Structure 1
Amino acid sequence: MFQLNIVSLSLKEKCKTPNPLPAGLPDLNPGKTLECYANVRLENGQKLEAKDFVHLKASGMIAQVQSIWKAENNAPGKSVLLLKKCLPGQMIVFYAMREILVSGDVVFLSVKVTSHYSGATHRKLSQYVYPRVTPDEWNQAISKGIKKWVEEPFRPAITKQTANKGPKNKGKQVASTSTTTFF
């Protein structure tokens, strides 16, 4: 099983058998021709192909790679993996291993995880439905923030006392202080 770290990929060859374009994939790369690739090589040298199992560190999910897609003329890092989610099955005592069941749930995973930078892409990749914020909820959140800001006392300025050793008082030790404020 591969530990799929989000790394750069070098695409080697296109799929030998043409795969039908999965529904929803064109939404991630609008207006681009998508190509299916047979395998990719990860930065650590491992080769990733269709039917391989991967463990996604971020979510802890185990999935099976169905196909690897890339928009034409895009960098290999813009690749998208079509994955089927896997579920833990029963424990097989004889082999001391757990059975992994491939479910019918299909998800897309962007290799470079552009979802960290784009909210729209994140929603498409994660298939999470975000509730719409109402104006009342928005106003309540702002009011709560302003209230917290007003109630919280400002942090006092840190002062540093230094001895003034100027040329006027040469030979005498006079301890005067000057205050420097740091923010």
Structure 2
Amino acid sequence: MPNTCVSTEFEQKLLDCLHGWERVSPTREAYLNAARELTMWRSDHNHPGLWALPPLMVTATIDDGLGHGLEVIEKLAEAAGVRIHSLGLLQSPESISEACRKLNPRFLGLTVLQLDSDDWVAEIVRGLPPSTLLIAGGPAFQYDEDFARRTGTHVVVKNGVAFLQFLMNWDARPGKMNL
């Protein structure tokens, strides 16, 4: 792990979760329970997570009124030590881009359900600060293998396991995009 991990004990806890999830595909509740346990461990040990200086992630949905996947990603990110600024559900591309320009997060987490949301996603990507990575997931990416390329999405994660793996391998050094 290049320059990202500040605790091998915490990293091992994350790896234990990931290895357990390789055997049995986790449910939404399993992700949320694991995130709760990791967050409690970090709190009990006054531990920052994977990074000494936690990155900021803005989160939102553009076409998802329930946000179940987004909740999982937010909780897993917080458990790993990411600071979260949630814009909420059913946000416009303009409001998402504006928030990212104002807050300059390292990550934008977005769930996309509808295949016809590609113009909105592309608009969001065009409005992002250069240092912000779009990490996205959802059915639009699963059912249209060209969706990510067409929209300019930087990172696609198919589930919470892939998201945690991305975070564990992300290099926090300035200028590193890890793409």
Establish whether TM, by shorter chain, passes 0.5: no
Instruction: Tell me which of the two structures has the higher relative contact order, counting C-alpha pairs closer than 8 angstroms and 6 or more residues apart.
Output: 2
Kindly name which structure, 1 or 2, has the bigger radius of gyration based on alpha carbons.
Answer: 1
Whichever structure has more strand as a proportion of its residues is: 1
Q: Which has the higher helix share?
A: 2
Q: TM-score, normalised by structure 2?
A: 0.21
For normalisation by structure 1, the TM-score amounts to: 0.21
